[in-house]
Amino acid sequence: MSGLRTSLYQKHVDLKSKIVDFAGWDMPVQYTSVKEEVLAVRQGAGVFDVSHMGEFFVEGPEAETFVDHLVTNNIIEAPIGKAIYSPLCRENGTVIDDLIVYKLAPARILICVNASNIDKDFNWMKSQVKNFNVKLTNQSADYSLLALQGPKSESILKSIIKSLPELEYYSVAPSQWQDQSYILARTGYTGEDGYEIFGNHQMISKLWDELMKQGVTPCGLAARDVLRLEVGYPLYGHELNDEITPLDAALAWTVKLNKKSFIGLEALKDYKPRFKTVKFILEKGIPREGYPVLNEAGEEIGTVTSGTMSVVLNKGVAMARVKLDKFNSQQNFFIGIRQNTYTATYTTKAFVQGGHK
């Protein structure tokens, strides 16, 4: 049985990518080699079809105040043209999703959400509209989305789209290409410079073909996961879920407790985190999701939430959720891998320093 397919599905098949199910979508997990795809993004340019992600629009005079009320990060104070990463929480502070808010105009905001959470997010947001003077629409089916990532992204995209708007990192602008409207954002989830391009299916299909002609490497979900993990970005369903708050997941920087109000503020103001989300590097062994994190005494203090071999470091890297009351950064840590335990070095820095500006 086939799953949902993006408008570019046939191109992925023609490129002989390996297709897997992801959140109900038939998505390319890799084209040639995960390693080559990761290095293309770190050193040159790679493109991801992320059309499965959700696009919601909030329009109307109270668009800014509504979105500011919905999410934990500060939306009101950000100028028009900014992109803002934020968790979306319930009243009790638990995380519904993490998303990016794009301030297109004072009365027009785009929210891009995880594919796996589209229905959950939309139903939640709809239930919160209440008396706000806004129109909330789910336009996910009308948009395709490409993430062009890597240090050469700007020069390549400029060679295709002559009128490309000048954008700072984490900003956005509506624009036109060959009489088609699209939304250009200088965002992404790889830690590298790059763009996310929201457009209609036809326009995105044409852009994909142009990017292929320029020699941009098509990249799959596996490379995307390695890239985000190397720079220490959380992924919903791994570092984030319905049971924990952003304060358990190293996202305190996105929770603006000084805002007058937002959904979850009361709960998060007084919340004592139960967990800490931390990073480990292994000289030997590859950590994987679900592997136990142990302290010197051999006591299990947490679990790996994401793990992989870092392509850049050629070492095992992990993000893990550990019990805060059992965590002492001065201790030595170990990760249990099958019948063995391997030394894991705690680090507060990103495994790889991305090149974004």
Nearest to 56 by CA among 40, 43, 70: 70
Question: Helix or strand or coil: residue 17?
Answer: coil
35 contacts another protein (rule: CB under 8 A):
yes
- Alpha-helical (H) ranges within the chain are 9-14, 34-43, 63-70, 118-129, 153-160, 201-213, 221-230, 265-269
Q: Quick one: how far is CA 341 from the chain centroid?
A: 31
Which stretch, 2-10, 56-64, 167-175, 280-288, contacts another protein (CB under 8 A)? 280-288
Task: Establish if 338 lies at the interface with another protein (CB under 8 A).
Answer: yes
Total residues in contact with another protein, by rule CB under 8 A? 17
Choose, by CB under 8 A, the member of 23, 286, 312, 350 that binds another protein: 286
Interface of this chain with another protein, residues 194 to 223, rule: CB under 8 A? 222
Closest among 354, 353, 335 to 344, alpha carbons compared: 335
Q: Which of 150, 188, 285, 354 binds another protein (CB under 8 A)?
A: 285
DSSP assignment string, 131-194: T---EEEE-GGG-EEEEEESTTHHHHHHHH-TTPPP--TTBEEEEEETTEEEEEE---SSSSSE
Task: Using the rule CB under 8 A, give the single segment among 25-33, 55-63, 71-79, 319-327 that binds another protein.
Answer: 25-33
Distance in Å, CB of 22 to another protein, minimum:
13
309 touches another protein by CB under 8 A:
yes
Amino acid code (one letter) for 233: Y
**Considering beta carbons, is residue 16 or 126 the nearer one to another protein?**
16
Q: Which of 226, 249, 268, 319 forms a contact with another protein (CB under 8 A)?
A: 226
Q: Where along the sequence are the contacts to another protein (CB under 8 A)?
A: 29-30, 33-35, 38, 222, 225-226, 285-286, 288, 308-309, 311, 314, 338
